[in-house]
Amino acid sequence: MNGARDALLEATKRPALRLLHRTRDGEALLVRLYLEAERYAERAAPWEPLLANAPRWLAAWLDRHRADERRHAELFAARLHLLAGDTRDDGRGGFDAISRRKLAALHRLVIRNAPLFAAGALVPALAIAWRMEEMGVRVFARHVEVLAGARPAAPLLPLLQEVLDDERRHARAARRCVERLVSDREQAALALLVERIDRIERRLGVTGAVVLWTWGGLLWMRAKLASFISR
């Protein structure tokens, strides 16, 4: 079942990316989504207060991670300004509705699973960070591959590659952090937690892909209509 869903996701998101890159507004939409995600990560996720008692080594890693997210946001903001002259945060909480639903479900997982681990909420919060970084790797790797094939000279491509390299490093580091905190007897609980995190991601992933494809089509039709009217 997961294989079929993953195939559907790829079959939907890759054409959506190509379609969005056919218009300036489409690329701006993608960059704005990435910018909002990086700003949200830099501000910290809803469960971040639960990490207040993190050990020194973990707090140092979180600070470095947050600095990277801040730098990514600055890169995307600069690109968005060139595309649309707009980098404002409109105060609606950032993130699209699908992403907000996903984060709410993940927050519930943190609360529910914290008592299962000696390190408490640190483990589910970091497990989510690990799996979300892995998701980021898939998102940016897909975008890099699509853009390299369709528009290898695109200005956005080196930016995406830089962020992808960082996301891969983040994913490895987050996994090491989780492994450092989990004892042998907690491995089964961790495996079940990871499965639940991934299930939430898969459940909402196809919906997000369809939304992207729809937006790409609408923006392309709007550009074509504007061109027709101008003639």
Q: Give the C-alpha distances (Å, rounded to integers) separating 68 from 73, 129, 181.
A: 9, 14, 23
Q: What would the two tokens of residue 138 be?
A: 């898939």
Q: What would the two tokens of residue 142 be?
A: 């897909």
pLDDT digits (tens, 9 = 90+) for 43-52: 655 456 556 6
Q: What would the two tokens of residue 148 be?
A: 């390299």
- Asked if 87 and 35 touch (Cβ cutoff 8 Å), the reply is yes
Q: Show me where the domains of the chain are located.
A: 2-230
Q: What is the CATH number of domain 2-230?
A: 1.20.910.10
For 102-137, letters b (16+ CB in 10 Å) and e give bbebbbebbeebbeebebbbbbbbbbbbbbbbbbbb
Long-range CB contact pairs, 147-154, < 8 A, 24+: 147/17, 147/21, 150/18, 150/21, 151/21, 154/21
Q: What is the largest CA-CA distance in the chain?
A: 70
What pLDDT sits at residue 96? 59
Instruction: Tell which wins on pLDDT, 53 or 34.
Output: 34
pTM of the model: 0.80
Residue with tokens 């987050």: 174
What pLDDT sits at residue 97? 66
Instruction: Tell which wins on pLDDT, 157 or 53.
Output: 157
- Asked if 5 and 206 touch (Cβ cutoff 8 Å), the reply is yes
Distance CA 20, CA 28 (A): 9
pLDDT digits (tens, 9 = 90+) for 83-128: 987 655 544 444 456 677 777 888 899 999 999 999 998 899 899 9
Write the CB contacts of 213 (distance below 8 Å, at least 6 apart in sequence).
12, 13, 15, 16, 19
